[in-house]
Amino acid sequence: MNGLAVLIPIALGLGLLGLAAFFWSLRRGQFDDLDGAALRIFVEDEEETAP
C-alpha cells in the first residue's frame, strides 16, 4: 500500500508530463507541416558568403 502511494502519483505525473509536452508542441506549430519536417533534414544551411 505504501508503494502505491508513491508509484501512482509518479505514473500520473509522467502521463501528465507527456500530455503537457504534446500540448506545448501543438501550440508551437510542430504539427503544422508534417511532410515538410521530413524533408528539412536534407536542407543544408546556407554558407556564409562575404558581402
Partner 1 sequence: MTAVALIERDFSVPDIRCAGCIAKLEQGLVRDRRIASARVNFTEKRVHLSCVPDAEMPDLIGAFTTLGFEAHPIGDALGDADPAAAGSRELLRAVAVAGFAMMNIMLLSVSVWSGATGATRDLFHWLSAMIALPTIAYAGRPFFRSAWRALRHRQTNMDVPISIGVLLASALSLYETATHGPHAYFDGAVMLLFFLLCGRWLDSVMRDRARGGITALLRNMGTGAMVLGDDGKSRWVDATALEPGMVMLVAAGERLAADGDVIRGSSRLDLSLLTGESAPQLVRPDDRVHAGTLNLDAPVEVKVSAVGADTALADIARLMGEAAQGKSRYVRIADRAARLYAPAVHALALLAFVGWMVIGAGWHQSLLIAVAVLIITCPCALGLAVPAAQIVAAGELMRVGVLVKDGSALERLAEVDRAMIDKTGTLTLGRPEARDLERLDPHVQSLALALAQASRHPLSEALTRGLQALDVARADVHAIRETPGFGVEAKWSDHVVTLGRPSDPIEGDALATQLSIDGALVATIRFADRLRPDARAAIDALRADGIDVSILSGDRAAAVAPVARELAMTAQTGMSPQDKLAALARQSVTHKVLMIGDGLNDGPALAAGHASMAPGSASDVGKNASDCIFLGDRLMPIVATLRMARRTQAIVRQNFALAIGYNVIAVPLAFLGYVTPLVAALAMSGSSLLVVGNAMRLKRAIR
* Contacting residues toward partner 1, per CB under 8 A: 1, 4, 8, 11-12, 15-16, 18-19, 22-23, 26, 31-36, 39-44, 46
Query: Minimum CB separation from partner 1 for residue 50, in Å?
Result: 14
Q: Determine contact, residues 15/23, Cβ cutoff 8 Å.
A: no
Helix residue spans in the chain (DSSP H): 2-27, 34-40
C-alpha cell belonging to residue 27: 501550440
Query: Minimum CB separation from partner 1 for residue 46, in Å?
Result: 5
